[in-house]
Structure 1
């Protein structure tokens, strides 16, 4: 592969190094202002997806899987004149394509990764680190065309990487299909920098200047998948490169052993490309001419035929057998001393001193020629960093250990963002359940009478509506639709680290959970928590004169500490949760932006987000304020009753709002316009529903005469969506017989 490939930093996932920013950073319009803009055609609820209701998982289960894999295998050695295969085998090229499709995943917000085929769209299709992968995707088009919608591009990228490894004798742990394609760029914050890595942008870690990698980012420079293969900012220091690798891989859910195995395993195959200076070639696909039909970078047929290809700028193979799995990578890394040299493109790389002829690699186009192998600075880090070296030496001496570690790490890389194992489809899904899949034991379905009896006991328990709603929300709202982690199933709200999160008000949480455990009978705790919230909402609506039914599912299981990798759940901790008016400390992103971000991760629409905020305020389900208790944002004189009072009173012209000076524009006081008497306290996430024109338009619908019914309906729909967001055990049951 051409570009290479760390500790999960706690704290705010929205830190930055400058002025207050939004959650987008540089957008596609910023990078490519002349590109055709299609946003206007997705306004007012119009779909970009031509198949919005298509079931990719169901379709994948109908495919002739054996025939598909054979077609991909045949492609590996079917070298095309318009883009010839190095060494006559596309395997290394396709491994890089699959790796870079999956490698954008980051634990901070669960975004990125392989599960939606985003590599087809800007900015990823034009990242410097993805140079010439436009050709890899085009090589796959005849297969995608043949099998059509039965396999998504997202699945095809990863399956092709697996087949590539197998075709070269490498170990594979398994494959799970069922990923769904998207048809427009996803909104992901990739950073604030105005330059790409190949344009001189600084590295994101400079310890001497107190500069750390910003959360939720994982890549070390804008436009990279992992780290700069030449070293931090192009500095060929293996120890600093090890520092960057450890940080970025940890933010992508990999430990040291997985990092070493992936790096060595990936570099057992293929070569890096740096035949000529990068400015010899064209620009990225998104900014190129119409006649090139989506191709970028290198398009000169004569240069392509000669193998004069540049992507990372580093030139050469890592091993003497670039299309065969084995132990040559570590054998050469430790056999030779290496000297720093420059590639023909001017990139810094390492070359073995006085290599034996049998340890030299064949030329990628002419196998009769021999050329020196090389290592990148990132490779040298595996030899120079003490911890990486211990692992590398063990893998050098135990090929079976490397085989197993690489296969498992590759599987994790390619499936980490798919969520629960029940979402995996196909005949090659491994039987073994892995801790990073967040397993939850199967639950049992309670009877209607058991549910009814429990809800009656809840309402007689002495627990308040606000307490029950807050605990149910705390449990379910951990869900992220980016990587399908979190959620109410498993009731991990009882376990470390969730039970101790400040946002969950641990003392109150413990008391509520203890009472629910006392009265739940045969119900799982996961069901008890969700049903208790539903009972509280039904009561709160009844107290307001409305009869509603909150139909959440049952049959959840309870996870234990043994099912839970506690450290991996740390990035899910809420730094801010506007739904319960929680903010730990002021961040460099506006609190209302963080509310929108959380709503996006929960899969909520604008009306659903608005209804949930207003409803939880009316219910009094807000986190306690140090000086004002649970009254901030609760614009009603009947807290605990589900009503539209929040919207009615927010939009009333009887109240005038002023910022509380010492809050730094995070807290506001609402005063009676005539008397000056204080009526309410509010945060930014309260007042934005009257300030922002789009949100105010929704708030007006809920506040107007006759709007309460619409509000209640939207609130219940949104609440149920959040409570049931992670019920893949139900939604996917039909695929597994």
Structure 2
């Protein structure tokens, strides 16, 4: 375990016992084995999207009456429903929490989580303990969603509602960008290996005394939490150092620095209250486990509890400020004005209460404004006063309201938009004009003429650079793309910049040589276009050498990013610890190497045929990494590397070859010998042999290796290659 990075031995981004369980953790079927299983209806590639493949959400969103939608949301804030009355007569704090928890699952490690697809509607998120009673918030929004229909996705509606909530209570907002398209089934995300939720005896994921760090790519400190346990590490309120440590680590995993962490904590807690009116064992289960008659509601004893105010979510009870529906600086004022004592809520949770609090600083009762009740702070809130670095920031915000306003507005915007990717994907009239560094800006490019492209390709093929070198450089540039948060990709040519140019997977010395030559030859082309076009030229040559006359039609018009456009630190999580397409493995991981290949293919948005064709094609082209524990050229199962052929599949599936483990490889490297003569033929890895051993992947390999399959392979490879090269071209989607 690396205590600095939180990675398990081998740098694996997934802990576990290997295989699917190690890669995915527990699935919805594990948590709720009696839940209705709809998987049979989406097997075979059948879509669950009721709008169909031709639905254009951007067009639908742009046609909405945006001002009318915001007016309806504003009215909803104070239109208290009898079935679920609003605290203080205002739903704003409730909707802020809904939006925050929709976005707050985002993590930088793999870009998954976040608000971009409306996953809070589905298990497991809809039933996480930290999302308690947000089922009611979503149901309060249903009449508005019903009114505007497909013109506003649930994913966009969650975030826009949070913005409107802040505005309706006088708070600052930086802007809003729409464009989040809903999905209609749970996404596959690794949330951890635990078999219990928080508050069920589960230990914190960080235990320095036991050498346990927060596992990559996880960000929450315990299963079922968005961030940290507000009562303290593992529920312990007497560990201030641990509380600050957990907050700093988890917020950093979600792309927030110390100032943003303080601003978000204080800004979010300027509104509303926590709920711990009764012990949690008085209430029913989460939505996924409840009776059909409750219609998707959870956390209730029975339907008569709705509207009674007996609400328990975190178990902590009370408001942070005396004005829970008004933006201001009361949070910091009270935090520093009073000393606090540890008390327990009616639900038995640990929380902190001001000592000898003045009545003027007390909060109104959530249901009876004529009553006054003490305010409170959680152990997490107390960290903003106890931790030296957090305290400096908090004291500055205490004395500078304008600074807090700006910091909170920007941090909220980042929280709710970080997973949307570049600004080009944003829709709507409230998209801020300012471009932010975390949006990975790229200057506009210029589309070259066909003649300029043809001339450049000719120069490249006469440059002395090999097919494998050109293909690897293009792949290194484009394959950083993640469809989880739409970061990475070829646009901007950040493969020329730190940290990407120095990643071992990219064979830095070879990459530098290739990029220098392309820079020399490119003329008026951007480097981003030059890298991709050079890869296309190499593949066209390789295909021609194999007897196929094809054209690799990648788009052009990319721009070149500079160091000023690049937050180098934020790109570090994009470094692949394994890239099965280039047969790269930095070091042995705690899950099977082939699982990491599948995970990477998922982030690239590839189908099984596309995955298979790319692996076989990269091997045939000799485009494998030399900077890996496997050594040079492993998995290149052909005697004509650099030719686009189906040789990899033909030779992998040959019955004349017998495979065995190389003894000192840790079950990672294999030797292929001629069955009759014992002559060594090939060396391969797990990511090679899985295409012969796994029945589904073998079926794909057989289709490419059979008579006539070579044409199918080449067509699939070119289609998949183009898909990866153009994955980040949101302007052409």
* TM-score (normalised: structure 2): 0.98
Give the whole-Å Cα distance in 1 for the aligned partners of 2:547 and 2:356.
Answer: 87
Q: 2:503 aligns with which of 481, 501, 504?
A: 501
The change in CA–CA distance for 1:295 and 1:15 in structure 2 (over 3 A counts) is closer
Aligned residue number for residue 203 of structure 1:
204
Conserved? CA contact 1:497–1:566, under 8 Å: yes
Give the whole-Å Cα distance in 2 for the aligned partners of 1:107 and 1:185.
Answer: 20
Aligned residue number for residue 15 of structure 2:
16
Give unmatched runs, 5+ long, in structure 1.
1-5, 732-737
Conserved? CA contact 2:341–2:354, under 8 Å: yes
Aligned residue number for residue 678 of structure 2:
676
Conserved? CA contact 2:421–2:439, under 8 Å: yes
Give the whole-Å Cα distance in 1 for the aligned partners of 2:4 and 2:410.
Answer: 20
**CA RMSD, aligned part only?**
1.3
The change in CA–CA distance for 1:295 and 1:304 in structure 2 (over 3 A counts) is closer
Give unmatched runs, 5+ long, in structure 2.
none
Q: Deviations over 1:266-301 (max 9, x none)?
A: 000000000100010000000100111100002645
Conserved? CA contact 2:280–2:312, under 8 Å: yes
Aligned residue number for residue 368 of structure 1:
370
Secondary structure of residue in 2 paired with 1:652: coil
The change in CA–CA distance for 1:593 and 1:508 in structure 2 (over 3 A counts) is same
Conserved? CA contact 1:7–1:247, under 8 Å: no
Give the whole-Å Cα distance in 2 for the aligned partners of 1:355 and 1:114.
Answer: 39
Q: Deviations over 1:317-340 (max 9, x none)?
A: 000000000000000000000000
Superposed counterparts of 1:76-95, under 5 Å: 76-95=77-96
Aligned residue number for residue 232 of structure 1:
233
Secondary structure of residue in 1 paired with 2:336: helix
Superposed counterparts of 1:574-723, under 5 Å: 574-624=576-626, 629-723=631-725
Conserved? CA contact 1:8–1:247, under 8 Å: no
Give the whole-Å Cα distance in 1 for the aligned partners of 2:518 and 2:25.
Answer: 44
Conserved? CA contact 1:618–1:639, under 8 Å: yes
Secondary structure of residue in 1 paired with 2:312: coil
How many angstroms does 1:165 deviate by? 0.2
Aligned residue number for residue 491 of structure 2:
489
Conserved? CA contact 2:584–2:625, under 8 Å: yes
Give the whole-Å Cα distance in 2 for the aligned partners of 1:543 and 1:700.
Answer: 23
Superposed counterparts of 1:31-50, under 5 Å: 31-50=31-50
How many angstroms does 1:56 deviate by? 1.3
Aligned residue number for residue 29 of structure 2:
29
Conserved? CA contact 2:585–2:628, under 8 Å: no
- Pair 1:215 & 2:216 matched: yes
- Pair 1:62 & 2:63 matched: yes
Give the whole-Å Cα distance in 2 for the aligned partners of 1:687 and 1:560.
Answer: 40
Conserved? CA contact 2:12–2:591, under 8 Å: no
Aligned residue number for residue 170 of structure 2:
169
Number of equivalences: 726
Secondary structure of residue in 1 paired with 2:383: helix
Give the whole-Å Cα distance in 2 for the aligned partners of 1:680 and 1:662.
Answer: 17
How many angstroms does 1:12 deviate by? 2.5
Conserved? CA contact 1:416–1:437, under 8 Å: yes
Secondary structure of residue in 2 paired with 1:222: coil
Q: Deviations over 1:19-41 (max 9, x none)?
A: 67531100000000000000001
Superposed counterparts of 1:114-153, under 5 Å: 114-153=115-154
The change in CA–CA distance for 1:17 and 1:611 in structure 2 (over 3 A counts) is closer
Conserved? CA contact 2:578–2:596, under 8 Å: yes
Conserved? CA contact 1:595–1:685, under 8 Å: yes
Secondary structure of residue in 1 paired with 2:229: coil
Give the whole-Å Cα distance in 2 for the aligned partners of 1:7 and 1:257.
Answer: 21
Give the whole-Å Cα distance in 1 for the aligned partners of 2:437 and 2:643.
Answer: 41
How many angstroms does 1:303 deviate by? 4.2
Aligned residue number for residue 381 of structure 1:
383
How many angstroms does 1:568 deviate by? 0.1
Aligned residue number for residue 111 of structure 2:
110
How many angstroms does 1:304 deviate by? 4.2
How many angstroms does 1:239 deviate by? 2.3
* TM-score (normalised: structure 1): 0.97
Aligned residue number for residue 324 of structure 1:
326
